[in-house]
A and B are shown apart, each in its own frame.
Chain A
Amino acid sequence: MEDRQRQERRNLRRGRTSSLTDRTILLPALGGAFTKLNPLRMVRNPVMFVVEVGSVITTVVFMLDLFNGTPGFSGANNQLFVGQIAAWLWLTVLFANFAEAVAEGRGKAQAAALRRTRSDTIARRLVDGKEDRIPSTQLRKGDVVVCEVGDVIPGDGDVIEGIASVDESAITGESAPVIREAGGDRSAVTGGTRVLSDRIVVQITANPGQTFLDRMINLVESASRRKTPNEIALNILLAALTIIFMVATVTLQPFAIYAGTSVTITVLIALLVCLIPTTIGGLLSAIGIAGIDRLLQRNVVALSGRAVEAAGDVDTLLLDKTGTITYGNRQASEFIPAPGVPMNRLLEAAELASLADETPEGKSIVALARRLGAAAASNGGDGMTFVPFSASTRMSGVDVDSHSIRKGADDAMARWSANELPAEVAERVAMIGRSGGTPLVVGEDHVVLGTIHLKDIVKPGIRDRFAELRRMGLRTVMITGDNPLTAAAIARESGVDDFLAQATPERKLELIKNEQGQGRMIAMTGDGTNDAPALAQADVAVAMNSGTQAAKEAGNLIDLDSDPTKLIEIVEAGKQMLITRGALTTFSIANDVAKYFAIIPAIFIGTTVGELKALNVMQLHSSNSAVLAAVIFNALIIIALVPLALRGVRYRPIGAAALLRNNLLIYGIGGIIAPFIGIKLIDLIITAIGLSA
Chain B
Amino acid sequence: MVLDIIGVVVTWIAVAVAAWFLGLWMVKVFQGERTFLHPVLRPAERGAYRLMGIDEKSEQSWVGYTVSMLIVSFVSFLFTYVLLRLQGHLPFNDFGLNPQGFGPVASDLAFNTAVSFTTNTNWQNYTGEQTMSYLSQMLALVVHNFLSAAVGIAIAIALFRGLANKTTKSLGNFYVDVTRATLYVLLPISILGAIILVSQGTIQTIGPYVEAHTLEGAKQLIAVGPFASQEAIKDLGNNGGGPFNANSAHPFENPNGFTNQFELFLELLIPFALVVTFGKWVGRVREGLAIGAAMAILLVAFTVIAAIAEQSGNPALSNAGADQARTATQAAGNMEGKEVRFGPIYSAQFLATTTGTSTGSVNSSHDSMTPVGGLVALVQMQLGEIDPGGIGAGIYFMLVFVVLSVFIAGLMVGRTPEYLGKKIESKEVRLAMLAILIDVFSILGLTAIAVLTKAGQAGPLNSGPHGFSEILYQFSSATANNGSAFAGLTGNTLFYNTTGAAAMWIGRFLEHIPILAMAGALAGKKVVPAGSGTFATDRPLFVGLLIGVVLIVGALTFFPALALGPILEQLQLAAGHLH
Residues of B within 8 A of A72 (CB): none
B212 at the interface (CB under 8 A from A): no
B413 at the interface (CB under 8 A from A): yes
Provide the B425-457 mask, 1 if CB < 8 A to any CB of A, else 0.
110111001101100110011011001100001
Residues of B within 8 A of A129 (CB): none
Known contacts A593-B556, A664-B545; decide if A233 and B426 are in contact (CB<8 Å): yes
A47 to chain B, nearest CB (A): 14
Residues of B within 8 A of A583 (CB): 411-412
A519, B532: Cβ atoms under 8 Å?
no
Provide the B528-559 mask, 1 if CB < 8 A to any CB of A, else 0.
11011111100101000100100011001111
B433, A237: Cβ atoms under 8 Å?
yes
A655, B532: Cβ atoms under 8 Å?
yes
B529, A519: Cβ atoms under 8 Å?
yes
Provide the B404-427 mask, 1 if CB < 8 A to any CB of A, else 0.
100111111111110001001110
- Indicate which residue in A236, A252, A255, A660 contacts B413 across the interface (CB closer than 8 Å): A660
A42 at the interface (CB under 8 A from B): no
Task: Give A593 to B554 CA distance when docked, in angstroms.
Answer: 12
B38 at the interface (CB under 8 A from A): no
B563, A657: Cβ atoms under 8 Å?
no
B296 at the interface (CB under 8 A from A): no
Where chain B touches its partner, the secondary structure class is: helix
A229, B448: Cβ atoms under 8 Å?
no
Query: Number of A-B pairs whose CB atoms are under 8 Å?
Result: 211
Residues of A within 8 A of B541 (CB): 657, 660-661, 664
Known contacts A233-B424, A519-B527; decide if A578 and B553 are in contact (CB<8 Å): no
A312, B414: Cβ atoms under 8 Å?
yes
Task: Give A663 to B415 CA distance when docked, in angstroms.
Answer: 14
B213 at the interface (CB under 8 A from A): no
Number of chain B residues whose Cβ lies closer than 8 Å to a Cβ of chain A: 64
B536 to chain A, nearest CB (A): 6
Task: Give A475 to B532 CA distance when docked, in angstroms.
Answer: 10
A351 at the interface (CB under 8 A from B): no
Known contacts A244-B436, A575-B415, A611-B572; decide if A232 and B426 are in contact (CB<8 Å): yes
Residue of B nearest to A249 (CB): B560
B568 at the interface (CB under 8 A from A): yes
A582, B411: Cβ atoms under 8 Å?
yes
Known contacts A312-B416, A664-B541; decide if A615 and B567 are in contact (CB<8 Å): yes
A409 at the interface (CB under 8 A from B): no
Residues of B within 8 A of A249 (CB): 560
Known contacts A233-B425, A664-B541; decide if A244 and B557 are in contact (CB<8 Å): yes
B526 at the interface (CB under 8 A from A): yes
B575 at the interface (CB under 8 A from A): yes
B571 at the interface (CB under 8 A from A): yes
- Indicate which residue in A229, A518, A612, A664 contacts B567 across the interface (CB closer than 8 Å): A612
B411, A579: Cβ atoms under 8 Å?
yes
Task: Give A258 to B464 CA distance when docked, in angstroms.
Answer: 8
Residues of B within 8 A of A259 (CB): 465, 468, 564, 568
From 647 to 670 in chain A, residues with beta carbon under 8 angstroms from any chain B beta carbon are 651, 655-657, 659-661, 663-664, 667-668
Residues of B within 8 A of A659 (CB): 412-414
From 581 to 626 in chain A, residues with beta carbon under 8 angstroms from any chain B beta carbon are 581-583, 585-586, 589-590, 592-593, 596, 600-601, 604, 609, 611-612, 614-615
Residue of A nearest to B413 (CB): A656
B561 at the interface (CB under 8 A from A): yes
A348 to chain B, nearest CB (A): 51
B440, A247: Cβ atoms under 8 Å?
yes
- Indicate which residue in A248, A585, A592, A660 contacts B558 across the interface (CB closer than 8 Å): A248
A531 at the interface (CB under 8 A from B): no
Number of chain A residues whose Cβ lies closer than 8 Å to a Cβ of chain B: 72
Task: Give A243 to B557 CA distance when docked, in angstroms.
Answer: 11
Task: Give A655 to B416 CA distance when docked, in angstroms.
Answer: 15
A345 at the interface (CB under 8 A from B): no
Residue of A nearest to B411 (CB): A582
B415 to chain A, nearest CB (A): 5
Task: Give A234 to B430 CA distance when docked, in angstroms.
Answer: 10
Residues of B within 8 A of A667 (CB): 412
Residue of A nearest to B525 (CB): A519
Binds B, one of A27-35, A146-154, A429-437, A466-474: A466-474
B552, A255: Cβ atoms under 8 Å?
no
Provide the A238-250 mask, 1 if CB < 8 A to any CB of B, else 0.
0011011101111
Residues of A within 8 A of B219 (CB): none
Task: Give A592 to B559 CA distance when docked, in angstroms.
Answer: 11
Residues of A within 8 A of B426 (CB): 229, 232-233, 236
B485 to chain A, nearest CB (A): 19
From 450 to 497 in chain A, residues with beta carbon under 8 angstroms from any chain B beta carbon are 470-475
B413, A611: Cβ atoms under 8 Å?
no
B57 at the interface (CB under 8 A from A): no
- Indicate which residue in B534, B536, B557, B567 contacts A245 across the interface (CB closer than 8 Å): B557
A309 at the interface (CB under 8 A from B): yes
A/B interface sample: 14 pairs, CB < 8 A: A229-B426, A241-B553, A247-B445, A255-B451, A258-B451, A309-B416, A574-B414, A578-B411, A611-B575, A659-B412, A660-B541, A663-B409, A663-B412, A663-B413
In addition to A249-B560, A655-B533, 11 A-B residue pairs with Cβ atoms within 8 Å of each other are A229-B416, A233-B425, A233-B428, A247-B440, A248-B559, A248-B560, A254-B448, A257-B452, A579-B411, A611-B571, A659-B414
CB-CB nearest 10 A-B residue pairs: A473-B533, A582-B411, A575-B414, A240-B433, A233-B426, A582-B412, A611-B571, A258-B451, A473-B531, A663-B412
Q: Which residues of A contact B (CB under 8 A)?
A: 229-230, 232-234, 236-237, 240-241, 243-245, 247-252, 254-259, 309, 312-313, 315, 470-475, 518-521, 574-576, 578-579, 581-583, 585-586, 589-590, 592-593, 596, 600-601, 604, 609, 611-612, 614-615, 651, 655-657, 659-661, 663-664, 667-668
